[in-house]
Amino acid sequence: MIRKAMIKDMKAIHKLLQEYGIKGELLPRPLSVLYDHVRDFSVFVDERNDDVIGCCALQFCWDDLAEIRSLAVHPDHLRKNIGSKLVEAMLSEAKSFEIKKVFALTYRQEFFKKFGFIQINRSELPIKIWADCIMCVKFPDCDETAMMKEMDLNQV
* Sequence ranges of the domains in the chain: 2-150
Topology of domain 2-150, CATH: Aminopeptidase (3.40.630)
Element holding 146 (H helix, E strand): strand 145-150
Q: Please give the model's pTM, rounded to 2 decimal places.
A: 0.89
Query: For residue 5, which of 60, 46, 55, 59 has the smallest C-alpha distance?
Result: 55
Q: What is the pLDDT along the chain (156 residues), one digit of tens a residue?
A: 999 999 999 999 999 999 998 888 887 788 999 999 999 999 999 989 989 999 999 999 888 999 999 999 999 999 999 999 999 999 999 999 999 999 999 989 999 999 999 999 887 887 666 666 655 555 556 678 899 999 987 765
